[in-house]
Amino acid sequence: MKKIQFVFFGLAVAAVAGLLTFSLFFSKTGLVRHNRLKTEHSKLLDSTRALRQENTDLSAEVEALQNNDAYIEKVARDRMGMVKGDEIILKVR
């Protein structure tokens, strides 16, 4: 009788250990989800850093466009193809 009780106790312990192990890895708070969330968090931090840098760059460009005549002229020439009234445009083929 004791042998049967010991076997059932062993099986119960193994079942509980199996459930705990499964829960540890695959539950809503398991390691698999934790690693996925950790990766997603890292990607979001990188994206946030990039967007903050882009925001800083755009703010500097807005400031330059509002206050720097030389920069305004450069943008007008480079991006819009504008020229001054006394300049001649030569197209080279």
- The 3-class SS string of 17-42 reads HHHHHHHHHHCCCCHHHHHHHHHHHH
pTM over the 0.75 mark: no
Determine, yes or no, domain membership for 91.
no
Determine, yes or no, domain membership for 89.
no
Domain that residue 61 falls in: 2-80
Determine, yes or no, domain membership for 28.
yes
Determine, yes or no, domain membership for 10.
yes
pLDDT means over runs of 10, the chain (93 residues) = 78 82 74 88 98 98 96 91 84 84
Determine, yes or no, domain membership for 11.
yes
Determine, yes or no, domain membership for 30.
yes
Please give the pLDDT value at position 57.
Answer: 98
Please give the pLDDT value at position 63.
Answer: 97
Determine, yes or no, domain membership for 17.
yes
Please give the pLDDT value at position 4.
Answer: 79
Phi first, then psi: give them for residue 56, nearest 5 degrees: -60, -45
The total number of structural domains that make up the chain = 1
